[in-house]
Amino acid sequence: MMSRKLGQHHNLSDEDRAQFAALPFVLRRVSASDYLVRESQVPEKCAFVVQGYTYRQKLTVNGERQIVSMQIPGDFIDLQNLFLRQSDHNVQALTNGLVAEIAIPALQRVVLTNPAIGKALWIATLIEASMLREWLLNIGRRGAPARLAHLLCEMAVRMKQVGMPIEDSYELPMTQEQIGDALGLTSVHVNRVLRELDRRGLISRSKRRFHVSDWDGLRQAADFNERYLHLDQC
């Protein structure tokens, strides 16, 4: 099951997939808000999301939080710890879920000796960096409505890509405070901007489910171009 995720995304041969699947791993259940990685900690394993969602975050000394990326099923949680000795940020579970953990030495060995798997994980890492750059552009240079619309577009596209059912609506289980932390805004302002997008006829909401009434309009409001997701190479 775990190899399915990777194989699906990275065009591995059966043999390579088998080699990846042969890695000893542990499935672990996690609860919303659990810490999966802590900054400054020395990591021992690499994990990826099997079910549910996680996010990476960093804190200022004043305790202000910035969410720097979201992980959905199939995404690695801490590939950065594969070769770095000390974690440079925190990872928390957004929802209850399931993660698969692999011991770092074993994964290092496979990555450095099996070119196909090595390449697949290189690509995953490079795409993650690309998303970070787009988030920097989003937070640094777009106004609040565009930022929010951009997040909604990105999450929808990524979820659709891993086979989750996104038609006109989808569930994004983030609180408005978490959305604010991901966008460099306050929860109060997120609330107001959500209602603005609603009023503009782009989305409507019920609980944490978003109905997108006008995808084109939303994309346009977001200045969204999916090139940075490198969908053809996942």
Partner DNA sequence: CGGTCTCTTGAGCAGAGTCAATGAACGTGG
Partner DNA sequence: CCACGTTCATTGACTCTGCTCAAGAGACCG
Tell me how far apart the alpha carbons of residues 180 and 175 are, in angstroms, rounded to a whole number: 9
Q: Is 23 exposed, middle or buried (0-12, 13-18, 19+ CB in 10 A)?
A: middle
DSSP 8-state class, residue 139? H
Tell me how far apart the alpha carbons of residues 190 and 179 are, in angstroms, rounded to a whole number: 7
Tell me how far apart the alpha carbons of residues 195 and 198 are, in angstroms, rounded to a whole number: 5
Quick note: the x/- pattern for a copy of itself over 119-138, rule CB under 8 A, is x--xx-xxxxxx-xxxxxx-
186 counts as binding DNA under rule CB under 7 A: yes
**Nearest CA to 36 among 80, 85, 78?**
78
The string of DSSP codes covering 191-208 is: HHHHHHHHHTTSEEEETT
207 counts as binding DNA under rule CB under 7 A: yes
CB 98, CB 30: distance < 8 Å: yes
Which residue's CB is nearer to DNA, number 109 or number 141? 141
223 counts as binding DNA under rule CB under 7 A: no
199 counts as binding DNA under rule CB under 7 A: no
Which residue's CB is nearer to DNA, number 96 or number 130? 96
Which one among 13, 15, 38, 83 touches a copy of itself, defined by CB under 8 A? 83
Quick note: the x/- pattern for DNA over 121-150, rule CB under 7 A, is ----------------------xxx-----
Give min distance, CB of 203 to DNA, in A. 12
What residue ranges bind a copy of itself (CB under 8 A)? 39-40, 56, 58-62, 64-66, 68-69, 79-80, 82-86, 88-89, 108, 111-113, 115, 118-119, 122-123, 125-130, 132-137, 139-142, 183-184, 223, 227-228, 230, 232-233
